[in-house]
Structures are given as C-alpha cells and as structure tokens.
Amino acid sequence: MWLSIAFLIGQTMMYASPIIFTSLGGTMSENSGVVNIGLEGMMVVGAFTAATVGFYSGNPWIGFLAAGVAAGSFGLLHAVACVTFNADHVVSGIAINFLGPGLSYFVSRLVFDGATQTRSLDLANKIPRPLDPLFGSNTFFELVLNRYATAYLALIMVAVVWFLLYRTKIGLRIRSVGQHPEAADTLGIHVRRVRYFAVIGSGVLAGFGGATLSIAIVSQFRPGLISGQGFIALAAMIFGKWKPQGAVLACLLFGFSQALVVFLGLRTQAIPTQIMSMLPYLITLFVLVGFVGKAVAPKALGRAFGEDA
C-alpha cells in the first residue's frame, strides 16, 4: 500500500518534470504576448543537444546547459520572426516544429555515422540522482525521493519563474507588454527587447525540458523521444491560466494520471489498454471542465506590437 503510493508519487514526478520546464517556458513567452507553439520543436533540439554534448563531454551538466543554449537560439529565431518582423506567431511556431527535429536528425547523422539516434550514456554520465545513496532499494522514501536532479530543478524553476514574473521589474514589464504593448511603450519600456528576453527564455526552458527526457529519464536521443510533450506543456500552461503555479499543478496532474495508467495496468487486466491510455487525457478534460474556471489569456497575445489593435 505505502509502496504503491510511493511509486505513484515518484512516477508522477518522472513524467511531470520535462513538461514542467517546458510549460514554464510557455508561461514566459505567452505572458509577454508571443504565442509559442514551437515548444515541441525546441524540446527536440534540447533533447538532441543534451544527449550529444553529454556523450562527448562526459559531463551531463554541460549537456544540460548546451541544450538550453541550442533551444534558446531557436527561441531567438522565433523572436526575430515574431517580434522584429511581426510574422504570424503560429506560422513561425509550426516552422520551428519542423525545423527543430529536421536539423537535429541532420546533425545527428553527421555526428553519429548516419544514425538519427545518439549513443547511450553510461549511468555514471547521466544527470545524477543526488539522494541515491541515502535510502535502501525500493523503500518508501527511495521510491518518492530518489529522483534525477532535474526533477528537483524543475520544481525550483517554478519558484524562480514565479518570482521573476511577479516580484521583479523585468517580470512586471513582461506582463505589461503582454497586456498592452502600446501603453507599455508610452511609459518608455522597450517592448521588443522585453519580448526578445521572454521568448529566448522560453526556448532555454523548453531545451531543459527536452534534456530532462534524453539524459535523465532515458540516456539517449532518438526520433520519437519527444512525441507531443511540448504540446502537452502548452496545454498545461493554458490549463494553469498562464501562471507558473497553475502550470505546474496541471503538469503534476497529467503526470499523476500517466502514473495511474501504469499502476492500474498491471493490476486490472479487465480494462483494455487502449481505454487505459486515454485516461490522462480524459482526467485532464474532466478537471478542466469541472474545476477550473474561465482562463483569460494575456490581452495582447498573438498580436504584433505596432499593428492596429
């Protein structure tokens, strides 16, 4: 009983941590008024970069940071298109969702002898599990707390992004350019500069999310590793009403329902697996309809600065 609860909590964290990073990224970008559906593509770039750099440097943290840099540069690309050239945010995001995986596979083929799959890291070269030596195997605390460092980092990032958005000057500016960029402009805020910051930041966080999958949850990158997590993170962010604290709850709910599918799957053979695998989406839908009130997007979301409102 206790072990089952511990297993559920632990697996919830495992599933949730990559999408927490990414949905925080989405929160930053969208609060500044820039729609970012390119999160999925940025996650792929991050996952690939982390696995590749981690493999060659032998240090997972260098890989992790490199993932932030690589995906952040896709954030820059998105910012150039949407902020400087006022391109349609959705079109640019879709382009990034094609470009990110395409470029990753292409570079992978160059680096790994024609394979779109990186070579797997040794356990010692993956993101460490800091609490690993503290607990005996398969005890309550081990199952709950023996997580990869990225899981803890994801929770810390929630507080960081919350603090940034609601307790700092730059956070206030991000939110104001997302609500009414023209008004912010008359107050002397560099609307485009603030949006650049937020969009690049969202790329960096999405890259961390991808890295969490490729060098903590598993130990290599391959096509299909990121299959929809970026979109789930986007949904979680909307579900969480464009707030970091809301988004993290949505991610945890989604992670919990995934863990529940695995937990029930072994115990009830009566329910077909196809029905079971719908569970996370059904739970999310019911909670969204039943318990979460109306979500209000930032007013200037998706609208270019300087265009007629």
Partner 1 sequence: MKRINALLASIVLLVFVGAGAFAAAEPEADDDTISVGMVTDVGGVNDNSFNQSAWEGLQRAESELGIEVSYLESGQGSDYGPNMDTMYDTGKDLIWGVGFLMADAILEAATANPDTNYAIIDFAYADTPDNLVGVVFAAQEPSFLVGYIAGKMTETGTVGFVGGIAGAVIDGFDYGFHAGVQYANPEVTVLRQYADSFTDAAIGKSIATQMYLEGADIIFAAAGLVGDGVIEAAREQDLWAIGVDRDQNYLAPDHVMTSAMKRVDSAIFQISATLQDGVFPGGETFLFNLANEGVGVAPTSDIHVPADLLAEVDDLSQMIIDGEISVPFDEASFGEMGYE
Burial of 273 (0-12, 13-18, 19+ CB in 10 A): exposed
Binding status of residue 182 toward partner 1 by CB under 8 A = no
Interface with partner 1 (CB under 8 A), residue from 70, 77, 143, 189: 143
Nearer to partner 1 by Cβ, of 160 and 278: the residue is 278
How many residues bind partner 1 (CB under 8 A)? The answer is 49
Binding status of residue 304 toward partner 1 by CB under 8 A = yes
Phi-psi region for residue 96, left (φ > 0), alpha (ψ -120 to 50) or beta?
alpha
What letter would DSSP give residue 42?
H
Interface with partner 1 (CB under 8 A), residue from 57, 58, 130, 138: 138
Site for partner 1 in 42-61 (CB under 8 A): none
Distance CA 284, CA 143 (A): 25
Site for partner 1 in 93-112 (CB under 8 A): 94-95, 98
Interface with partner 1 (CB under 8 A), residue from 5, 88, 130, 193: 88
Please say whether the dihedral angle defined by the alpha carbons of residues 265, 235, 94 and 112, taken in this order, is positive or negative.
negative
Q: What CA–CA distances, in Å, run from 180 to 24, 26, 308?
A: 22, 19, 12
> Shortest Cβ distance from residue 138 to partner 1 (Å)?
6
Nearer to partner 1 by Cβ, of 272 and 293: the residue is 272
Interface with partner 1 (CB under 8 A), residue from 1, 274, 294, 309: 274
Binding status of residue 141 toward partner 1 by CB under 8 A = no
Distance CA 246, CA 294 (A): 13
Distance CA 151, CA 216 (A): 9
Interface with partner 1 (CB under 8 A), residue from 73, 116, 125, 179: 116
Please say whether the dihedral angle defined by the alpha carbons of residues 38, 161, 258 and 134, taken in this order, is positive or negative.
positive
Binding status of residue 211 toward partner 1 by CB under 8 A = no
> Shortest Cβ distance from residue 273 to partner 1 (Å)?
4
Binding status of residue 11 toward partner 1 by CB under 8 A = yes
Interface with partner 1 (CB under 8 A), residue from 78, 173, 195, 222: 222
DSSP per-residue codes, 215-276: IIISSS--TTSSSSHHHHHHHHHHHTTT-HHHHHHHHHHHHHHHHHHHHHHHH-SSS-HHHH
Binding status of residue 245 toward partner 1 by CB under 8 A = no
Interface with partner 1 (CB under 8 A), residue from 86, 166, 281, 285: 86
Site for partner 1 in 12-31 (CB under 8 A): 14-15
The C-alpha torsion from 63 through 210 and 129 to 161, rounded to 10°, is: 100
Contact residues: partner 1, CB under 8 A:
3, 7, 11, 14-15, 81, 85-88, 91-92, 94-95, 98, 115-117, 120, 123, 137-138, 143, 213, 217-220, 222-225, 227, 258-259, 261-263, 265-266, 269, 272-274, 276-277, 304, 306-307
